[in-house]
Amino acid sequence: MTLSSARSTVRAGVLTAALAALVCTTATTASVASADSPAARPAAAQADVPAGVTAGVAVFDRQTGTFTEQLNADAQFRSASVVKLLIALDVLWNRSPDALSAADRARVDTMLRGSDDAAASTFWSNNGSGAIVDRMVTRLGLTDTARPPSTHPGYWGYTALSARDTVKIYRHLLDSAPAATRDYLLGDLRQSTRCATDGYDQHFGIAGSFNRPWAVKQGWSGFSSGGCTATASTAAAEPAGTAARTAADADAVDLSRPALHTTGVVGSGDRSIVAVFTLHPSGTPYGKAYTDIGRLTRSLNVPGATRPAGTWIGTWGSGVRVRTQATTTSGAITTLPAGVEVLVGCQKRGQQVSQPPYVNDWWAQLPQYGGYMTNIYLSSPENQVPGVPVC
């Protein structure tokens, strides 16, 4: 097994003390209530936004027709890949999914399931670029949505979008779109792959906070590495670096800070629509942003949602593998975003792993990944994490 390269020379005493402090703040027990009924979980007075994060939040309960959460719901963010919802709806406007060519159907599938940028760019170029956004604004009555700025016309990820308008998009898809369109597009969103085609782990926010059924469309921009592979996105629509802003853009949508968004529907009958848009301080690692949006999403009052049982624990190191069994010789399922918080279901003894000055034979079972990671990389001062049951 090739172990993480991070912290290989850290002094044992300093790291142990640091990890002891970390576990006090990063290990939290997840709710095991069967559903978020008002009796099980009172409505939050306000979304719990982590320090340094700018957020726009909207949660809509389709059963009661009311919002359970609204925070800066009309604030405009650059959409990143969330705009792919509008691109897909435009492709299918006045057209049945059965009428798509095989090539276009494959593009829609990979664009929504794996958040493929090349597919989105093809539709963007072929169907009028910013005119796609203009058409969908008129069709859906969107009020906070606008095409990318004139300085970046080809950057579909720079489309302006709000949490409030995102709720409108999902309400149209669920309640007004033809049944064939609804079932096809939601079917793709329900099949969101953990690893996107650009190597980013996209099961943050909604996908990590709630049990299925859910359907999600996520967005990210401004990060250099996303966990599943070492490959960073190089597509023009999702630049990894920061974008220069001109004087004309001074009051426009923020194009520079790292953005991470989670949107979708949650619960039986797609009861709740959730939209969480976030901006993070410049230089924020992907794993930190992933953790922060997860904590924010878990704080929300989402009617009909059920939450996974387990304990959320921080990790350290980079390139940490999740494996099929508690051994270094078993198959690698994926790698974790560096420093991300993970849900631990239980722990058991397995193969002894050494990362000097540490040796540990305890492994954590990660139910959301369907595998195990060595406890060495959990932010815990003890080999066996206190409070986590034995498998």
- Which tens digit of pLDDT belongs to each residue from 76-121? 999 999 999 999 999 999 999 999 999 999 999 999 999 999 999 9
Confidence check: pLDDT of 228 > 70 = yes
Confidence check: pLDDT of 306 > 60 = yes
| CB atoms inside a 10 Å sphere around CB 245 | 15
Reported as a pLDDT band with limits 50, 70 and 90, residue 26 is: very low
Confidence check: pLDDT of 303 > 50 = yes
Residue 178: both structure tokens together:
């033809």
Average pLDDT over residues 133-139: 98
Average pLDDT over residues 258-270: 98
Q: Which of 223-227, 325-329, 356-360 shows the lowest mean pLDDT across its residues?
A: 223-227
Output 248 or 66, whichever has higher pLDDT.
66
In whole angstroms, how far apart are CA 144 and each of 1, 137, 161, 349? 49, 9, 6, 53
C-beta separation of 202 from 196 below 8 A: yes
Cα 344 to the center of its chain, rounded Å: 18
Reported as a pLDDT band with limits 50, 70 and 90, residue 229 is: low
pLDDT digits (tens, 9 = 90+) for 30-86: 433 333 333 334 444 479 999 999 999 999 999 999 999 999 999 999 999 999 999
Average pLDDT over residues 116-130: 98
| CB atoms inside a 10 Å sphere around CB 275 | 28
| CB atoms inside a 10 Å sphere around CB 328 | 16
Average pLDDT over residues 178-183: 98
Q: Which of 149-153, 162-166, 202-206, 313-317 shows the lowest mean pLDDT across its residues?
A: 149-153
Give the residue from 299, 322, 294 showing the smallest Cα distance to 378.
322
